[in-house]
């Protein structure tokens, strides 16, 4: 395998001589190797050097092209492992927000505050699953609801837990100030789906 891949990317070129007592000159060859052998050695090393240059430039170009073209591949924006690095690119303004409320009827607790009732209450992955579930429910996408509900229930809810997914458009800065004043979840939420885990 090394021979195959090595021949392609030129790893076989420019092998260092293990012969002892030979003085290296400026070109990386050996003075007493003899003309033809010395020339071959130099050519191999030069060819290796060129191939490495090309490989690095090609890889960087591929990284740029594939990464940026991944911007047209939502939702991950990625051709793994080439990513567009579009993290925090869009500044959040007013947007649709879905809240998972868990507990029993009449005593709902917001998911991120329900550390004792659910698994991984502060996980950003859970947040993304809730948003996708809420979006699917809002758009009556039954297949999406089934898929994301299964993930939500299996990974984050213990058996017997009731939950609601509620929706509202909110501005993060305004919402953060409200939250700091202790007003809890925002007013005017619309319930987009309800469910209960089997005991």
Using CB under 8 A, which residues numbered 88 to 127 contact other proteins? Answer: 88-93, 110-113, 121-125, 127
CA dihedral 12, 14, 20, 25 (to 10 degrees): 180
Told to check if 33 binds other proteins by CB under 8 A, we report no
User: What is the C-alpha separation between 185 and 109, in angstroms, rounded?
Assistant: 9
Between CA 76 and CA 70 the distance in angstroms is 8
For other proteins, the binding residues in 51-80 under the rule CB under 8 A are 52-57, 59-60, 63-64, 67-68, 71, 76, 78, 80
Q: How many helices (H) and strands (E) does the chain have?
A: 5, 6
CA separation for the pair 163, 192 (Å, rounded): 11
Shortest Å, Cβ 76 to other proteins: 5
Cβ(13)–Cβ(41) below 8 Å: no
139 sits in which H/E element: none
Strand ranges inside the chain, DSSP E? 78-79, 82-83, 95-104, 107-110, 162-170, 190-196
Candidates 6-14, 138-146, 156-164, 191-199 — which segment interacts with other proteins by CB under 8 A? 6-14
CB closer to other proteins out of 28 and 160: 28
Number of residues that bind other proteins (CB under 8 A): 73
**Which part of the chain contacts other proteins (CB under 8 A), choosing from 32-40, 42-50, 100-108, 158-166?**
42-50
Sites for other proteins among residues 123-142 (CB under 8 A): 123-125, 127-129
Residue 45 touches other proteins, criterion: CB under 8 A: yes
Binding of other proteins by 87 (CB under 8 A): yes
Question: Scanning residues 165 to 184, which ones bind other proteins (CB under 8 A)?
Answer: 172-173, 175-176, 179-180
């Amino acid at each position: 395998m090394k021979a195959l891949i090595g021949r392609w990317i030129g790893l076989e070129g420019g092998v260092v001589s293990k012969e002892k007592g030979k003085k290296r000159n400026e070109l990386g060859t050996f003075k007493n190797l003899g003309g033809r052998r010395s020339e071959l050695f130099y050519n191999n090393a030069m060819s290796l050097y060129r191939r490495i240059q090309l490989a690095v430039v090609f890889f960087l170009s591929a990284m740029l092209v594939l990464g940026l073209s991944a911007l047209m591949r939502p939702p991950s924006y990625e051709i793994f492992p080439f990513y567009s690095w579009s993290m925090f690119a869009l500044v959040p303004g007013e947007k649709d927000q879905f809240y998972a409320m868990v507990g029993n009827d009449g005593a709902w607790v917001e998911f991120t505050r329900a550390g004792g009732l659910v698994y991984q209450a502060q996980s950003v992955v859970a947040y993304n699953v809730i948003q996708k579930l809420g979006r699917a429910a809002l758009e009556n996408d039954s297949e999406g609801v089934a898929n994301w509900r299964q993930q939500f229930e299996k990974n984050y809810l213990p058996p017997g837990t009731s939950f609601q997914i509620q929706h509202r458009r909110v501005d993060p800065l305004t919402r953060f100030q409200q939250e700091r004043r202790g007003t809890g979840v925002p007013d005017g939420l619309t319930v987009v789906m309800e469910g209960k885990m089997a005991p």
